[in-house]
Amino acid sequence: MIQFHEASHTYTLDGVDLPSVTHICRFLAYDYKSDEPWLAEAAARRGTAVHEACALIDYGEEPEESAQIAGYLNAYRRFLKDYRPDWELIEHPMGTLELGYAGTLDRYGTLYDGRTCILDIKTGQLYSAALRAQLTAYQALLPPRYHCTHLYALKLSADGTYQLREVPADRALLDACLFLNNATERKKRT
């Protein structure tokens, strides 16, 4: 069974440490090695709070809403009303030794018109390359019994609006990230 270690943002499967999808795709992140890391930390805390609250909404509960995340939650509720998703997996950790990485899928399910999808919730900017690699990585981890026809990024904004963007799969970009990650990790060990 996959285990997530929040402090190191790593996963363990059968006693083997696996890097996260986020870690593998870090080379494509806009703020990778930023000179203002506190901004990335604040955005990460906000994103975590929004993700947790959206999961509660999906489970039929009412989350505690601070002023900092209320607009994002209003945007999520609008998305739910517009697309009426039937989620099968919510904040679902998964990983394989074969692929050598793990991650937590935000959502997998079916939209009102029958599209099956992986959906990743974002509260910041949508960076195309990073999204392609990240969502392709989740699609590769998805167990075979789940059929996925679409990959989406859902950007929630503080003003209560949202943007749903379809993201094309990009296995070559994911493979490049995996190559860079593995090379970097090998270099650290020598």
Look at 57 and 182; give whichever has higher pLDDT.
Answer: 57
Look at 105 and 190; give whichever has higher pLDDT.
Answer: 105
Look at 144 and 35; give whichever has higher pLDDT.
Answer: 144
pLDDT of residue 9: 77
Type of residue found at 159:
D
Cross-strand bridge partners of residue 95: 102
Categorise residue 183: left if φ over 0, alpha if ψ from -120 to 50, beta otherwise: alpha
Residue 182, token pair as written in the block: 């593995």
Q: What is the CATH number of the domain that holds 92?
A: 3.90.320
**Total domains present in the chain:** 1
Which residue range(s) make up the domain with 64? 3-189
pLDDT of residue 186: 83
pLDDT of residue 1: 87
Task: Identify the band that residue 41 occupies on the pLDDT scale cut at 50, 70 and 90.
Answer: confident
- Please, is 150 exposed, middle or buried when counting C-beta atoms within 10 Å of its C-beta (0-12, 13-18, 19+)? middle
CB count, 10 Å around CB of 134?
28
pLDDT of residue 38: 46
The CA-atom distances, in angstroms, between 33 and each of 39, 40, 42, 181, 184 are 12, 10, 15, 15, 15
